Amino acid sequence: MAETLESQAALSTSSSTPADKDGSKICILLNATGNVPIIKKRTWTVDPNKTVSWIQKFIHKFLKLDASEQIFLYVNQTFAPAPDQIIKNLYECHGTNGKLVLYYCKNQAWG
Amino acid sequence: MGDLSWKDFLSQAKQFLETSQKLGDNWMLEQKDSNEPNTYLKYSQKIKCQGGKDNSAEFVNVEYHVVFSVSYQVPMLVFQAHRSDGSLLDLEAIWRLFMPESKASDLHQILTQMDHPVLFRPFMALHPCRTAEVLKQFGKPSCNQVLTFISLYGPHVQLHLQNAYGLSQDFT
């Protein structure tokens, strides 16, 4: 499952071919916090039009988490962007030194 | 960490309000009196809703309150939604509007009607029992947990904050 996701995913190594028209993928840095497993590869490049929830789903699948657990994504230690927000907008607002630093953690949200 | 005291809630709610005023998006602070927990943040917006009587689109006015839960010591999101003719949306309609994909058995653990802690009227409420746990997962304790809370839980009920809220965290 994870493999198929990765092959069709736009999250890929920086050296991948720029398939999209503008060729400008955004570089993101993923940091684990709390009790969530780390992902060894921290730097990823992402299609600027992907949404925050898409990245959440990607991490969820990548870490093979239980369905009841949810990935939370946030910037600046404080702010969790809306799930339908696209990475491009987020980068324009919160990107530093050509990178968008994202933190993620997991928890059960309800119940 | 993760839970917060009433005093913290109050000062962070005021910080949040300052940010909102800078960004100009009309959050308000309602104060019934100075006792705990009688101050809350308020915001209202119109949402387009597919599912009027003959499945036509209609606009629903939603009023959100961010109140302090004394029992859980965390912020809590409650809200009320009414149609343009003034009728209130009942719980089923709310579930259909905000959480069409969730199973009914789960919904009872997510969103139900509860007493508003300040107004003592029934309001729709997002359950606060995991909030402290979720807030605790945020690396360093967030410098404004009220903001963190709203940005985390708001999107479940179509309450979105501008990205710029994440920037104004230089208050210490």
Mean pLDDT of B105-132: 94
pLDDT given at position A2: 38
pLDDT given at position B2: 74
Q: Is residue B25 assigned to a domain?
A: yes
Where does residue A9 rank: exposed (0-12), middle (13-18), buried (19+ CB within 10 A)?
middle
Read off the pLDDT band of A15 (50, 70, 90). very low
Query: Which residue range is the domain that position A100 belongs to?
Result: 2-108
Q: For residue A87, what is the domain's CATH number?
A: 3.10.20.90
C-beta atoms surrounding A28 within 10 Å: 21
Mean pLDDT of A84-89: 95
Distance, in Å, from the CA atom of A93 to the CA atom of B62, rounded to the nearest integer, reads: 28
Q: For residue B59, what is the domain's CATH number?
A: 3.30.1460.50
Q: Is residue B11 assigned to a domain?
A: yes
Question: Whole-model pTM?
Answer: 0.89
Q: Is the pLDDT of residue A10 over 60?
A: no
pLDDT given at position B50: 77
B155:A90 CB<8 A: no
State yes or no: ipTM above 0.90: no
Domain count, chain A: 1
Interface test with B, best of A56, A77, A84, A104 (most B CBs within 10 A): A77
Q: Is residue B1 assigned to a domain?
A: no
Query: Which residue range is the domain that position B69 belongs to?
Result: 6-166
Domain count, chain B: 1
Tens digit of each residue's pLDDT (9 = 90 or more) over B43-70: 999 998 876 566 778 899 999 999 999 9
pLDDT given at position A75: 92
Q: Which residues of B touch A106 (CB under 8 A)?
A: 137
